[in-house]
Chains A and B, each alone.
Chain A
Amino acid sequence: MAATQQEARSCARTPKRTNMASFNKIESRNDPENDPFRSKYKARELLREIYCSAGLRAAKLGAVEYYLGVNHVDTEELPAGQEHLMNCMKLLERCRVSSLNVSLFIHVRNQLGILWAGRDETETAQGFLETAESIYQRYMKEDGSPPTDMTEYFAAEESLLTHQERIKRFELAYTHTMYYLAQVYKNLGQTERAATYCHTTLQRQLQLNQFTPMEWALNAATLSQYYITKGRYMEGRHCLSAATVISDLAGEVPSEAAAQENEAESERREHLRQKRAEIARCWIKYCLNLLQDAKKQLEDNIGELDTDRQEELKRARRREEEEEEKGRKSALLFGSEDTFDSIASIEEKVMCLFPLDFTEARSVFLVGQNHVTQAKDYFQMDGYVTDHIEILQDHSALFRSLAFFEEDLERRCKMHKRRVDMLEPICNDLNAQYYLMIRRQLMFELAETYNEMMDLKLALANRQADTQSLDNHTIKKFNHLCSASAKYFQMFLDSLCSPEGKFPERLEEEVLRPALVARFRVARLHSRFISTSPTVQLDNLNKSLENYKYVVQYCEANPEAGATVETELELSKEMAGLLPLKINRLKARMASNN
């Protein structure tokens, strides 16, 4: 630094300056015709050189402008802030990038990026930040020596930074560039790129050891959620495994006893338990999505396991395993020497390829269920109603996905029963005013679950005997499930009513399809009750007709609704036309029997 300063000073005093002046004046006449400005260009180069050697002064001035700019931006005086930052840019413009000023080059662009993004001028921000990115990359390729930090411009010689500290600060500035670019790409809707930059930011934090473990872990866990919704389970699992490993670096959760004695310990306990529970919830989603996506791959057009497809996927599996693991893994990896193995060992505990049979599905399910227990331990019903229920809903969904893989209908039915057992009491106990949305979700899910159980019971009975001779016990059970399903659909519909109990004439967009589907399904359920009494049959058929007609008439009055329930509407029309005939036949029979 001192040496450079000296150099700069002597350079500025060099006789070159006077030489150059005369050179510029006289020799321009002697420029060759095919290069008329040769001397001018030469002069410019010289000027630049001199300016650069005076570069330290420029950089210092630039730094002052930079600090003034940031200061103004911080006090929300954006135009003044912009002016100072641009002055800094102008001062730097005339200099070559060197270890002396590269840090300022990056910093000022970072700030301008923030400034312009704040004005919704995202492209302008992008320009500044991308330039910063390429300046960094070129510098690291061509020079790479630890650059002077801005603070050193104004520091006494003895308090200059170590090389290590210089590198640390410089790299941190660039990490910020990465982070800002992630946000800019996000705002531009380039999510893929944004995710990559977030990933890079995380990776750099880990590599440069600039992170707090729990915060980092939670961020990695969150990034996993991006990957799993993209169907990229390999990356998702990697993020989650890294999250688990790094979160352990945050230390042990203080015991309850310790927490009671000490406020700080109590806060720490709360913090660690909450974050761990949140990471557990990210794992639940991983397991759940993996199972659900696998199900989508394997199901036939009515949602049953397609065994041909299963065989086909199993055959394709071997190739996939090798290629994917190898190819993708080399691309992005978190961790250092010491964490790498622990991350890998967690990855091994759960698959990232689609489970293709019950055994595989069960292994994914169990991992998910473990995390459910962990998450519920912190997010208890009392105090965390919404969170607790969301976890239960996930647990229920895990069972639903597992049931798909289960071949034994009896066991499958029991899995659905578990879902009912966990959701039903909650649905009935919650305050309808505060938890309207959650209750609606629960009602719908309960209705569907009962319906599913009803179908399974019937299928089981049919397997054992033929339809005509269903025993009384089975019929009772079937009807119970049928009415429970109808009850919850009806409860859902009632929840749409105004405080005065009136059903809305126009359904809100969000509930339009669910409401019409609920009507449709109530209609169907009523026609499925098994009864020997013609009066009961008639009553059920009339109720069924009523609901089919509602769907038809609603879509007539609100034609735009038709598009959301196309198939259901078509069938409702058919049934609204056919059921009266069935009803009349029944009536006729009743009349003749009397």
Chain B
Amino acid sequence: MKRFVYINDDEASKELCCDNRISNTKYTLWNFFPKNLLEQFSRFMNQYFLLIACLQLWSLITPVNPASTWGPLIFIFAVSASKEAWDDYHRYLSDKKANEREVWIVKHGIKKHIQAQDIQVGNIVWLRENDEVPCDLVLLGTSDPQGVCYVETAALDGETDLKTRVIPSACVGIDLELLHKMKGVIECPIPDKDIRRFDANMRLFPPFIDNDVCSLTIKNTLLQSCYLRNTEWACGVSVYTGNQTKLGMCRGVAEPKLTAMDAMIDKLTGAIFVFQIVVVMVLGVAGNVWKDTEARKQWYVQYPEEAPWYELLVIPLRFELLCSIMIPISIKVSLDLVKGLYAKFIEWDVEMVDQETGTASYAANTAISEDLGQVEYILTDKTGTLTDNKMIFRRCCIGGIFYGNENGDALKDTQLLDAITSGSTDVIRFLTVMAICNTVIPVRSKAGDIIYKAQSQDEDALVIAAAKLHMVFVGKNANLLELMFNGEMLRYEVLEILEFTSDRKRMSVVVKDSQNGKIILLSKGADESILPSARAGQHTRTIAEAVEHYAQLGLRTLCLAWRELEEDEYLEWSVKFKEANSVLVDREWRIAEVCQLLEHDLYILGVTAIEDRLQDGVPETIETLRKAGINFWMLTGDKQNTAIQIALSCNFISPEPKGQLLLIDGKTEEDVSRSLERVLLTMRTTTSEPKDVAFVIDGWALEIALKHHRKDFVELAILSRTAICCRVTPSQKAQLVEILKSCDYRTLAIGDGGNDVRMIQQADIGVGISGREGLQAARAADYSIGRFRFLKRLILVHGRYSYNRTAFLSQYSFYKSLLICFIQIFFSFISGVSGTSLFNSVSLMAYNVFYTSVPVLVSVIDKDLSETTVMQHPQILFYCQAGRLLNPSTFAGWFGRSLFHAIVVFVITIHAYAYEKSEMEELGMVALSGCIWLQAFVVAQETNFFTVLQHLSIWGNLVGFYVLNFLFSAIPSSGMYTIMFRLCSQPSYWITMFLIVGAGMGPIFALKYYRYTYRPSKINILQQAERMGGPILTLGNIETQPRTIEKDVSPVSIRSPVYEPLLSESPNATRRSFGPGAPFEFFQSQSRLSSSSGYTRNCKDN
């Protein structure tokens, strides 16, 4: 499908119709009610409640006023609906603001001022500096004579650097007057969401001389919501408008994620539902039997002799209605409320604010905080997530000479400085590549300093290092680059840029040296993509060794290379390159092919080594979280050795002898599968031992493993607590998440870059680091945090508390509903199993919504253990991971408690209020107040952390109950007129209440104390320790405890023939030989490259 956009032609573009009205709203004024209702009723629970409410309208079977169900139902629907409406209204307001912004467009050669929403496809939009782009435009002209302009795309992809955009070649040199009258056609794909691709063609109509088809790329576009910077004006033709823009298409409602806890609550709800059906059936049968045997004799009931056909159904249905409160109608609303608050706590947490940038944490998904406490696997990216992504040039190796090895900083290596002053060709070429083989834009600040705007941190580091080594990249004037070397101005003209892609793993530029007119190809890239293209005669061995050496130090390496091109060669190639650039289908792939044609016979200049420091607190965080029983997988696009080094330095894996590293690799498929089997075997034998075993796999092997040995790999994944996957593609990252999820593990994916987006979206919980690689990951994520170390707090503090709180809240909700329902059931046995409700309608309606909801909501600030204790004993997270606080057996406990309390309340009430006091309304109120009193004490007993709010809500709620009932009792027309005043003036009422509390709470309190003291859970022990201030709180104790264990296990012997090479801190032990196998290695890596790019291609085709 293609779209043809006719520039400046209203008629022709008419059929594309849509204007630039942006609409992010979910509803309109008209469809809000039907749509919202439909949405709410798509939930099973709501359908169920609606059915109950409808049944209640049948007065023959309803035990109480239908309002007792309709009231809460409507209330709950109103709450959800108004939340939706509020959100939607805000979306509408922001849309409206964007839509009504004034923009300039050019129509028939005249500039007009219109609202942004009136822009049509094909209109020429005129922008001034710092204007926001109103829709997706194809650039036609800019104030810059070269047709360059700069945009900030932060709103689109979160990258804060300026990007260069150029006008299409066909538009070069068209003057302003003509520009306004321009006619032409743009052939572009139908709107899609890929913000990195725009494969289109443009043809201008006469009178323009250049009538050839001219290819357009993303570089020729201005996308909606970007800002025009450092450019006086720019104009472009709109190709996508409104919701069809790239940004508009990117939006989309994410699938709501369901937490493990929600699933468990649903399961329990299901169980209760079944229980309810059983109760209803039993009581229904009993009721019908009683009716036929007993009630017929009771003349005052006047059962008719002839009954309608549905007579048998009446009693069961009545019980169904009576028991419908077993499933608490308010649980959904309560959960939504507290979940919202959990998310707010995360955002409010000042300890999770990145001090450097002032970025607070942000919870985009408010519904899954409990899952944080149940994480079992963390899949983490390396660069920018574990590391700072703050690149610093540290060392280099030029022509076989290592610089910076002594002091660890090549910039201060006198040997290098000498080589520069002496003018060594290799060194100067090396510096030139460092300075200009990139897409960096130097900008002069007001103070006169040069600031580099780079898309990648590596390039930034290289350019800055080059500048410090006297090769200063001074300015970029369209295609003309200016270098200042020792006071001498060098000029290069950029002819082509062969861009970096993750498949190619290298980038090159073709420049023309203005000094001597020579055309040079400058390349930089990963070793395995550069070294195979080395010139035949060159010894790449020293380079490979240098790479290996640097990788072992945990440095990121780039190989720099150079080749002089013959003019003919370049021109010939240039045609092909242009062709490839204008292909509409598979353009990326074709370009890569063409690039390969030029990038060969390279003269390898040397290797740069860039340090990417670990973020603060990463090792501690990982250690703590591993202690908490969370397994870590590192998924990185980086080299194996770099990855292993980083893994070692951040406690990811332990050095020998405690840790063991198993490699899965191989040169052929068989090798890989054999290696996989061997690792699996080792893994099976070692799982019983307290040893850190990790496996390392790279992207190529991973692909084979996933394709052919999925079962084995899954088993491996289950067995291994740690894994390092290097050189993996974004889609492989997502696949790994998928595998762990399929084994029923709770996964958390954390990353910072665009390449992590897929895994973040795939995982149960996606966490984005709002870091230097832009905000793309943070936007896709459920949570975004500033630094990796906040993960510890996010999981151990917020996740754990959320889990505990929800566990209490949900079970308590069932408890209170069951309690009142059991009393109704008991009452039915003394009311002729006829389905009479003991409680009046008002009480039933208010019970779930008012009387019992407030105290339980305050459990959102309950803390069983202080944050410090949890941090010191992360193992306690186990209770959450294993779901110890909410599962069928804890639920059974609550079920039993409600049964017990129901018996207590019921028995005491009917005995204390027997004979002359057994008035219906009074008895009902006594039983209800008994329930409310017990509620208050149960909440109080289960609260660990009493703040003012807790006291206020628990005891205030009790007072509120009486106030509310006094109010009801003051209304003469209500059924309970004066009841509460009468009761409260009777001493027997209060005596009964105390008895209910004493009898109801005594055994529970005793049981709790017994368990707490004699069968304590770990949480209890820590609570005791924390509050008694025992020796456990001294850090030294904790530190020494694991140490002694380490000593016990330290001697390791070689046990089995499948023993894998151990990892140690000494470089020799881990070093993989590069000796005779080196050529194979290259061969292999080349095949890897092609196979992996083939893989991504497949993905794209899908």
Whether A associates with B in a native complex is no
Chain A residues proximal to chain B, CB less than 8 Å: none
